[in-house]
């Protein structure tokens, strides 16, 4: 979180809305620990990361969805082999849960 605070502050100072995505659970092999955080501005700018680059694209989509009001906050899980529900996988075979919310608190 520490490393993305300056970006969040800058975006908010520019009047942009921001979504916060944090890893809250990792099962099996995962590159980042719980607490790894990523921020997405309403323009789609990104700071930080939640994995080794495998699911960041999908997290941006979820973040923009949350900002557009599709859900107030959302727990997203990546890495299940159930490819109908979770199209985005992790090459390492792990499963990560990411909590995505608008940064309006």
User: Nearest 5°: phi and psi at 58?
Assistant: -65, -35
85 forms part of the interface with another protein (CB under 8 A): no
68 forms part of the interface with another protein (CB under 8 A): no
In the complex with another protein, the residue whose CB is nearer, 66 or 83, is: 66
The one among 9, 44, 68, 70 contacting another protein by CB under 8 A: 9
Question: What residues form DSSP beta bridges with 97?
Answer: 25, 77
**Min dist. Cβ of residue 17 to another protein (A):** 13
**Min dist. Cβ of residue 37 to another protein (A):** 9
Question: What residues form DSSP beta bridges with 86?
Answer: none
The one among 19, 22, 59, 90 contacting another protein by CB under 8 A: 22
Chain residues binding another protein by CB under 8 A are 1-2, 5, 8-9, 22, 24-25, 33-35, 72-75, 97, 99, 101, 103, 105
């Amino acid at each position: 979180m520490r490393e993305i605070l300056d970006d969040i502050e800058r975006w908010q100072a520019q009047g942009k809305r921001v979504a916060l995505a944090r890893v809250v659970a990792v099962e099996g092999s995962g590159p980042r620990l719980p607490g790894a955080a990523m921020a997405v501005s309403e323009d789609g700018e990104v700071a930080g990361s939640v994995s080794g680059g495998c699911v960041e694209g999908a997290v941006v989509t979820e973040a923009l969805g949350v900002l557009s009001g599709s859900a107030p906050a959302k727990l997203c899980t990546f890495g299940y082999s159930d490819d109908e529900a979770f199209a985005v996988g992790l090459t390492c075979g792990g499963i990560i849960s990411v909590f995505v919310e608008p940064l309006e608190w």
